[in-house]
Amino acid sequence: MLSAADNELLTRTNSGTPMGEYLRRFWQPVALAEELPHPDCDPVRVAIMGEDLLAFRDSRGRAGIVDPWCSHRGAPLYFGNNADGGLACIYHGWKFDVEGRCL
């Protein structure tokens, strides 16, 4: 039987925890391919290890995961325009590619 301290160590996966930092070193499944059925489809909200994220497929069909909030003004990217190679913020139009870079 695990002690309470060991249980905390092994089950807490938020950012900054030992297990959370360890698990972030590996690929984690967060969505099915069917949830992003075609290029420029609507983004999908996902949550894993205490983090809210946004999955989308760009114009070339590549899947990516980004922070759900625009880094410029904090507008929700979920309502952004997914076209022309990236996900554009509805507020000022900042566009992010599948690797999270601002285009």
Question: Which pLDDT score is estimated for 80?
Answer: 94
Residue 82 has what pLDDT?
Answer: 95
Quote the pTM value. Answer: 0.85
Residue 81: what pLDDT?
Answer: 95
CA distances, 13 to each of 37, 81, 89 (Å): 29, 32, 29
Task: Give the model's pLDDT for residue 1.
Answer: 86
pLDDT confidence of residue 2 = 87
Q: pLDDT under 70 in the chain at which residues?
A: none
